[in-house]
Amino acid sequence: MRYSPIPNTLFVKNRISFAAKLKPNSIAILVSNDVKHTNADGTMGFAQNSDLFYLSGIDQEETILVMYPDAYKEGNKEILFIKETNEHVKIWDGDKLTKQEASDISGIARVEWVQDFEKILQYMAFEADSFYLGHNEHLKRITNDQETQQDRMISWCKKKYPLHEYYRAAKITRSLRPVKSVEEVDLIKKAAAISVDGFKHVLKATKPNVQEYELEAELIYRFTKAGASGHAFKPIVASGKNACALHYNSNDSVCREGDMVLLDFGVCYGNYNSDTTRCFPVNGKFSDRQKEVYTSVLHCLQEGSKLLKPGVGHVTYERNMGSLIETELIKLGLLDIKDVAHQDPENPLYRKYLMHGTAHYIGLDVHDVGLYSRVFEPGMVLTCEPGIYIAEEGIGCRLENDYLITDVGQINLTKDMPIEMEEIEGLMRN
């Protein structure tokens, strides 16, 4: 692995918390993600199932975790199934985890080969009353044409054991994962620190007529050199009017003199992610109008992030952020105060210039799991990311930090990333 070993005490604690929420005499089964293919024999690489990693720390395909806390035999309470290495696999793909290595990483004493899963489960299944199975419940886009390892496990279990009761493992992990442990926060901090270094190198490389993808290349070089897995998501390097397309990431335009670049990027380190956004002038000096818009967005970030504190609800936070944006849009001459006074509250006018939400959970997933009906609690990590997008002026500005909620407020985990205009201009000048 590229990242420093994570203490297996983290995964032991996570399993204890997870097991405490299972119904009596239940078996939980969590499986790894598939290796996704491109064409011919090419692959897209492997990204582990976040829930499985959260409970085991295993970052390898063809892995299954079985938990049966009420099992009669001690050795059946936790079993980890991994892919067996043979000479053919070693020659083509290199070594896979040994049983001892998997045990050391996960803190699970009993490790078996994955081909023995069905036989071993059979000995336990009829002693149990129910199964908890995993599924990706966090998808917001249509995925009815995709079948995953989780889908196949659900189908197989229900066919093999049709008279058991079935429950959702994701409902439990969704309740646990939003509140981060000290170890998890440290991993997010590490990802954030790598992103700071990457951003500073992007500033040094920026000049008129540079390609957006050249700036993207600066990021991946710094991330890889620091031991990160790579981008947390495909980065947005959007110059000029491209910054007004929220999910622009083709990064194939030329950065022109007088334009501003919106850089939305994140680092994945140890499967934990950062997510930050900065804006900067291509020529190293903000224009007067860019300064006005930037100042407004920065004000919203500074004031809005104060709402990320225990007991505040997500709806309250977004409503207050909307009010901040609205006030700044009036100052910028983009909204008329009289029109705002008579606007439809269900369709506020500021939505023309800010179309997205301005906070999300972050952790093992960039948009991490968790209900937004839940009030903020100490240990949660969220982004704060207000923006103003003026398509008619070719200016899009978003600023984003990652915040850890504490008992008394919040800590900015990305505070070392330059954000004041004077500092950005100074770094670009030097």
Q: What is the pLDDT of residues 225-269, one digit of tens each?
A: 999 999 999 999 999 999 999 999 999 999 999 999 999 999 999
Clarify whether residues 138 and 187 are in a common domain.
no
Count of domains for the chain: 2
Confidence at residue 141, expressed as pLDDT on a 0 to 100 scale: 55
Confidence at residue 140, expressed as pLDDT on a 0 to 100 scale: 54
**First and final C-alpha spacing in the chain:** 36
Bridge partners of residue 404, in order along the sequence: 381, 411
- pLDDT above 90: percentage of residues in the chain: 89
Cα dist from 157 to 27, 55, 122, 132, 167, whole Å? 11, 21, 11, 10, 12
Give residue 77's domain range: 9-176
Clarify whether residues 241 and 132 are in a common domain.
no
Clarify whether residues 256 and 158 are in a common domain.
no
Report the largest interatomic distance among the alpha carbons of the chain, rounded to a whole angstrom.
75
Residue at a domain's end among 149, 176, 203: 176
Clarify whether residues 134 and 195 are in a common domain.
no
* Residue pointed to by tokens 């008394």: 408
Clarify whether residues 14 and 113 are in a common domain.
yes
Clarify whether residues 191 and 311 are in a common domain.
yes
Confidence at residue 144, expressed as pLDDT on a 0 to 100 scale: 62
Distance CA 28, CA 79 (A): 11
| Band of pLDDT at residue 16, cut at 50, 70 and 90 | very high
Backbone dihedral region for residue 25 (phi beyond 0: left; psi -120 to 50: alpha; all else: beta): left
406: CATH = 3.90.230.10
Clarify whether residues 155 and 253 are in a common domain.
no
Alpha helices in 310-403 (DSSP H): 314-331, 337-341
- The H or E element containing residue 80 is strand 78-82
The two tokens of residue 315 are 């709806």
Clarify whether residues 153 and 187 are in a common domain.
no
Range with lowest mean pLDDT among 38-47, 107-116, 252-261: 38-47
Residue at a domain's end among 111, 146, 176: 176
Clarify whether residues 291 and 312 are in a common domain.
yes
Confidence at residue 91, expressed as pLDDT on a 0 to 100 scale: 84
Clarify whether residues 230 and 153 are in a common domain.
no
Mean pLDDT (the chain, rounded) = 95
Clarify whether residues 327 and 249 are in a common domain.
yes
Question: Does 4 reside within a domain?
Answer: no
Distance CA 227, CA 337 (A): 51
Confidence at residue 86, expressed as pLDDT on a 0 to 100 scale: 82
Q: What 3 state SS string does 227-238 have?
A: CCCEECCCCEEE
User: What are 370-426's pLDDT values in tens digits?
Assistant: 999 999 999 999 999 999 999 999 999 999 999 999 999 899 999 999 999 999 999
Clarify whether residues 214 and 332 are in a common domain.
yes
Q: What is the DSSP string of 111-169?
A: EEEGGGHHHHHHHHHTT-SEEEE---TT--S--TT---HHHHHHHHHHHHSTTSEEEEH
Task: State the average pLDDT over residues 207-229.
Answer: 97
> Is the model more confident about 300 or about 1?
300
| Band of pLDDT at residue 93, cut at 50, 70 and 90 | confident
| Band of pLDDT at residue 76, cut at 50, 70 and 90 | very high
pLDDT(273) > 90: yes
Confidence at residue 37, expressed as pLDDT on a 0 to 100 scale: 81
Nearest of 396, 381, 407 to residue 305 by alpha carbon: 381
- pLDDT above 70: percentage of residues in the chain: 98
Task: State the average pLDDT over residues 294-320.
Answer: 97
Confidence at residue 139, expressed as pLDDT on a 0 to 100 scale: 60
User: What are 81-90's pLDDT values in tens digits?
Assistant: 999 988 887 8
145: CATH = 3.40.350.10
Give the global pTM: 0.95
Contacts of 356 by beta carbon, 8 Å cutoff, 6+ apart:
246, 385, 387
Residue at a domain's end among 176, 197, 219: 176
